[in-house]
Structure 1
Amino acid sequence: MTTDRTTLITFLGRVPRDDHGYRKTRYDFGDGQSADEFAFFGWALQRQIKPQNIVILGTIGSMWDHLFEGDFNLGAAAEHQREALMGAVDAQRVTQHQLDELAPALAAHLNCRVRLGIVPYAYDGVAADLLVQMAADVFETDIVHLDVTHGLRHLPMLALLSALYIRITKRATIAGIWYGAYDCDTGRGQAHNLAGIMRIADSLQALSSFDKDGDYGVFMPLLEQSGASPQVVEALKKASYYENLLNVGQATGQLRQALRALETEAPGLAPDVAPLLPTIQRRLQWVDEDRQFEKQLALATHALERRDYLRATLYAYEAVITRVCQIQSAKIESFEEREGARKVYEKQSEGLPEYQDYKLLKHLRNEVAHGTRGSTAEVQRALLNELVMYELLKRLLDAIRQGRLPSHEDGV
């Protein structure tokens, strides 16, 4: 369902009360406007963001009675049910049926949809059920605000998980993760929007995605949102495109440009992306390798580490041919000279010990590129067994790294 409605999900806790009821606080949202006093921060937040959908979750012992008796005057609406609720709160035995009966009174007063829900204490493996329950009231494309002020101390951690869960499963926008902090010295409260923590979660998710497939294009939206210049984002975009085409030379130039600019721009970027920058730099250290074949070898090694056998094989083979071109002083960017150098190498190395490894790598490269059956028994075994494939590629990469494939004298 497509909608642009705003949804507020908030937790209701239990705090001591005196003869005057629960303590009320005036919360400052940083907009310079004076706010009314509320004991329940969720109502202050409701006044601020004006949601069309409110979900209030609490345990059987939460201060449900305050929703109807403290911050609002509901008159005689559902009076008998409210009296019964007060007794249930004192006994910490509130039922879902009681809340379902009372929710329409709040909805009518606030002129929006309201759901009141009993949740477990989220111990011993029931946290996943809570995540599902929180997401059940969110439509796709909702603008969601989460309030983690009240409730049990572990609920804010679950709220963060729910924010990630809701955003992924419902494609909703998490506009706020709110905490109302009470200052006992001044008797006032300060409203804090902690939604920036989602960008830290995005950073971790981007790193995980990069480690899986090596595509650093996943960093572009994060850097763009954090204030990186269009030049940085465009350079990363181009580099990602070139590397996907195995064009390491062009990718290197764009990456160096992006990394230099990031060093200059780092102090002005949003603080929540700062932890990401050193990791990006470490992940892209291969651009500092002196020679082209060393870059390709590094990329092949990284691909093998993440079990990307296709890219590991392609880069390994390209590293060999690039090294051959350098030995023969052939232009590596020229297809004709590259092909000529390859043919010369194959003719000169035939009969040498390294030739068997070269033929093996060449056959393997052809089979994984075309998805065909292995042309030799050894290649076929590798295609049918991941452990054999991993060990084979590891051995071939070691041979390239140690100068045994190709084994001709350096000369450069």
Structure 2
Amino acid sequence: MHSLSTFLGRGRYSEATGYRTASYAFPGGSIRVSPFFGLELAKELMPDRLVILGTSGSMWSVLVEHLADQGDNRRENERLELLEAESHHRVSEEQLAPLTALAQEATGMDVELRLIPEARDDREQMRILQGIAESIPRGRVDLDLTHGFRHLGMLGFLSAYFLEALRSIQVNHLWYGALDMTPSDGPDQGMTPVLQLDGLDGVHRWIEALTRFDASGDYGVFGPLLARDGLPSDKARALAEAHFHQTTLNIPAARQRLQTVLKELEETELSGASALFREKLIERLSWARSDNLGNNQRALALRALRRRDYPRAAIFGFEAFLTSLCIEQGETPTNYKAREQIRDAFSKRVNKEEPDWKRDAWHLLRELRNAMAHGTPPRNSKVRQIMHDRERLQRELEAAINRLNNT
């Protein structure tokens, strides 16, 4: 189901000219004249369902004026009653009920007319968001933010993401009939531009993606945003692949995927919000520039620690040290057998031949890794105490990672 949700404003009424109209110039080239942008947008989009939200003082009488047949005296009486009620902010649900059938007949759509409060406080604001969610049950939706109080536009903008989170509804576009941008002269004189606010939507989605990435480490959240703004689709998919390899601890494969993305980000001119956030993304992928596996693992350990992913921080931190031992002894870090032998040899000599700080860091990091990987309490009482104190675990784990990796 495709729905359009629009706000109904109060309008400017004159006894001589009626409500102020505008000539709305749509992106496709059509021009529609009306005092109510939402009705004209509905004619452009032809949704299955039209939801009109307005307060007790909104210009509900305009709906009657534009939708009723000329000469329908019964509708004229309803219009005048609504006009009187609007002026005193007293329009009621009972007055709107008869207009639903009129709106549906005139538009050929399923129409809902819904009274909303004026959003004076957080309680009223939550009621509006809940009302929008109830009126858009499924499918996809376009949102018109043109009319109504200025702060209702902000609530409408927020409702797009509220609907996505609450109902998994797909938001197509945010629309705005920009009356204040109507030229007073020139070739477009008197033409009110109709704007798609997809740029603002893109910025919001990038902020959301960065937040999600910083909480989860999933590069895949950026893929759809970048693909929409010009990154080749195979490189967008490479981000999800990099996350898959990283979660399975295959760091060389994750690094290779991210290196291809970094190269493309530096060479491709991105459009939209992706251009604004390119540097922030590159910063988050920068660990992959190094071909040193130990450096990769240490960087990922500290990143995992920042998002309080303690098991992954301990695993990467411990493996980073083993990698450095392999390199010191001329062995390939990805050779499993050699890696195991070097680990066992170091474990045997650490208590006798290594300085205290390295010995302590080794045992702490190894016991923390094993305890969290296997879900069993550590045998060492000190380590058990550390694992029962979130802030202490954060400090001790970070110190052990940095000391063991000699930084």
Q: TM-score, normalised by structure 2?
A: 0.92
- How far off its partner does 1:400 sit? 2.7
Kindly indicate whether the alpha-carbon contact (under 8 Å) linking 2:321 and 2:405 is maintained by their aligned counterparts in 1: no
1:27–1:190 CA contact under 8 A, matched in 2: yes
1:73 corresponds, among 50, 62, 69, to 69
1:60 aligns to 2:56 (yes or no):
yes
Task: Quote the Cα distance in structure 2 between the aligned partners of 1:68 and 1:363.
Answer: 75
**Aligned equivalent of 2:374, options 370, 376, 397:** 370
Question: Residues 197-212 of structure 1: matches in 2 within 5 Å?
Answer: 197-212=200-215
Partner of 2:130: 132
- Once residues 300 and 319 of structure 2 are traced to their aligned partners in structure 1, the CA distance between those partners, rounded to angstroms, is 11
State the alpha-carbon separation in 1 of the partners of residues 38 and 250 from structure 2.
Answer: 54
**1:402 deviation in Å?**
3.2
**Which residue, 201, 221, 225 being the options, matches 1:222?**
225
Query: How many Å separate the matches in 1 of 2:191 and 2:225?
Result: 35
- Is the Cα–Cα contact under 8 Å of residues 52 and 113 in structure 2 kept in the other structure? yes
> 2:294 is matched with which residue?
293
Secondary structure at the counterpart of residue 198 of structure 2: coil
Change (3 A) 1:79 1:168: same
- Pair 1:105 & 2:102 matched: yes
Residue 159 (structure 2) aligned to one of 159, 162, 167: 162
Match of 1:398 in 2: 402
Structure 1 segments, 4+ long, off by >6 Å, are none
C-alpha contact 1:38 1:71 (8 A) present in aligned 2: no
Question: Number of matched residues?
Answer: 395
Point out the more displaced range, 378-387 or 212-221.
378-387
Give the aligned residue type for 2:212. Answer: S
Residue 379 of structure 1: CA displacement? 2.2
> C-alpha distance in 1, partners of 2:166/2:152?
20
Q: For 2:332, give the aligned amino acid.
A: K
Letter in 2 for 1:193: Q
Q: Does 1:335 align with 2:329?
A: no
Deviation, structure 1 residue 258: 1.1
Task: Give the Cα separation in 1 of the matches to 2:45 and 2:284.
Answer: 41
Q: 1:278 aligns to what?
A: 279
Offset, 1:103:
2.0
1:75-112 CA-partner distances (Å, limit 9, x unpaired) = 24544433321211122321222112322222222222
- Judge conservation of contact 1:122–1:130 (CA < 8 Å) in 2: yes
The reply to whether residue 146 of structure 1 matches residue 143 of structure 2 is: yes
CA drift at 1:290: 5.9
Q: Deviations over 1:20-59 (max 9, x none)?
A: 21122222213233x4421100111011011221111112
1:327 shift after superposition: 1.5
Tell me the distance in 2 between the aligned counterparts of 1:290 and 1:167. 40
Aligned residues with identical type, % of pairs:
32
Matched position secondary structure for 2:279: helix
Assess if the C-alpha contact under 8 Å between 1:296 and 1:319 holds in 2. Answer: yes
Relative distance call for 1:39 and 1:253 in structure 2 (3 A) is same
RMSD over aligned Cα, in angstroms?
Answer: 1.8
**Matching of residues 339-350 of structure 1 within 5 Å:** 339-350=340-351
Partner letter of residue 25 of structure 1? Answer: A
SS at match of 1:350: helix
C-alpha distance after superposition, 1:314-354 (max 9, x if no partner):
11110111111112111101001111111222223223412
Cα 1:36–1:321 change in 2 (3 A) is: closer
Secondary structure in 2 aligned to 1:150? coil
Separation (CA, whole Å) in 1 of partners of 2:364 and 2:89? 72
What is the CA-CA distance between 1:401 and the residue it aligns to? Answer: 4.3
Q: Which runs of 5+ in 1 are unaligned?
A: 404-412
User: C-alpha separation between the residues in 2 aligned to 1:137 and 1:195?
Assistant: 23
| Bigger mean CA offset, 310-319 vs 280-289 | 280-289
Could you list the per-position Cα deviations for residues 140-193 of structure 1 after superposition, in whole angstroms to 9, with x for gaps in the alignment?
A: 2x2211111111111111111100011221111211211112315122222112
Tell which deviates more after alignment, 187-196 or 202-211. Answer: 187-196
Residue 256 (1) aligns with residue 254 (2):
no
Considering fraction of residues, name the structure with more helix: 2
> What SS does the corresponding residue of 1:174 show, helix, strand or coil?
strand
Helix, strand or coil for the counterpart of 2:103? Answer: helix
